[in-house]
Amino acid sequence: MLKQIFRLLAVLIFAFICCPLGSSLFAKDAPLVNGIDAKYPPFAYIAESGEAQGFDIDMINWIAKKKGLSVVHQAFDWSSIVTNLKDKKLDLIASGLSVTAERAEQVTFSNPYWKVKQVVLVKADSPLTLDEVLKGGKTIGLQSGTSELASMEKANGQDGRKYTITGFESADMSIQDVINGRIDAAVMNDSKATEFLEKFPVKALGLAGIPDEDYAIAVNKESVELLKVLNEGLAEIQKDPIWAELIKKHQLIEPLF
């Protein structure tokens, strides 16, 4: 009995030495779970067919195929998605996720792959100016749980800024309240704003005056090997002709401002 215990201890010690806590080994034969926002086109969304689509989806699928990995895309509540990654309920987030210092304390980011600016939209017939929206005590809608909402909250009260922020489940819901006159304006990234300018009776007044943001892939802090593979994949796809094709496909070419 004593010998069996010593053998078991030896096996456990060997396993601990070979695979220490905090190592980053991941099973390449097991699908990686990519957590996404179900309502964030053109980067990631769930189509009417139930299929995950978007720029980030195509990007990750290409990288996974190139690296011999399999990946599934699963929608999560955006306001808690970073916590879910930290708690290992998913393996990565590639869904238009902004790099912030607060998030970097909880997860690790890949090299950035896209930069976005935040744009102010109002009704097409609105007489409001950009200054009136940002400094005139108006009500501005943003998607809840986003870095742009946090940045707008932080900027409120500085340099003459004065506005009230209303959070929404999605940018789509905020723009509907703009159209219906329930709020004065909405702030969102320039890609989303471009989409809405084509679909709805709205106009862009200008930039929201908050810092530009980098989008990157997030992984658990222990996933060192996965991070390395993803960074290699990002470098490869950006050198491949498919990168320009995806930018064109998802209409990410022309910045508004």
| pLDDT tens string 137-146 | 999 999 999 9
Is the pLDDT assigned to residue 220 strictly greater than 60?
Answer: yes
- Same fold flag, 28-115+215-249 and 118-211: yes
Is the pLDDT assigned to residue 19 strictly greater than 90?
Answer: no
The CATH fold of domain 118-211: D-Maltodextrin-Binding Protein; domain 2 (3.40.190)
User: What are the sequence ranges of the domains in the chain?
Assistant: 28-115+215-249, 118-211
pTM score > 0.85 for this model? no
CATH superfamily, domain 28-115+215-249, is Periplasmic binding protein-like II (3.40.190.10)
In tens, the pLDDT along 26-42 reads: 666 689 999 999 999 89
**HEC string for the chain:** CHHHHHHHHHHHHHHHHHCCCCCCCCCCCCCEEEEECCEECCCEEECCCCCEECHHHHHHHHHHHHCCCCEEEEECCHHHHHHHHHCCCCCEECCCCECCHHHHCCCEECCCCEEECEEEEEECCCCCCHHHHHHCCEEEEEECCCHHHHHHHHHCCCCCCCEEEEEECCHHHHHHHHHCCCCCEEEEEHHHHHHHHHHCCEEEEEECCCCCEEECCEECCCCHHHHHHHHHHHHHHHHCHHHHHHHHHCCCCCCCC
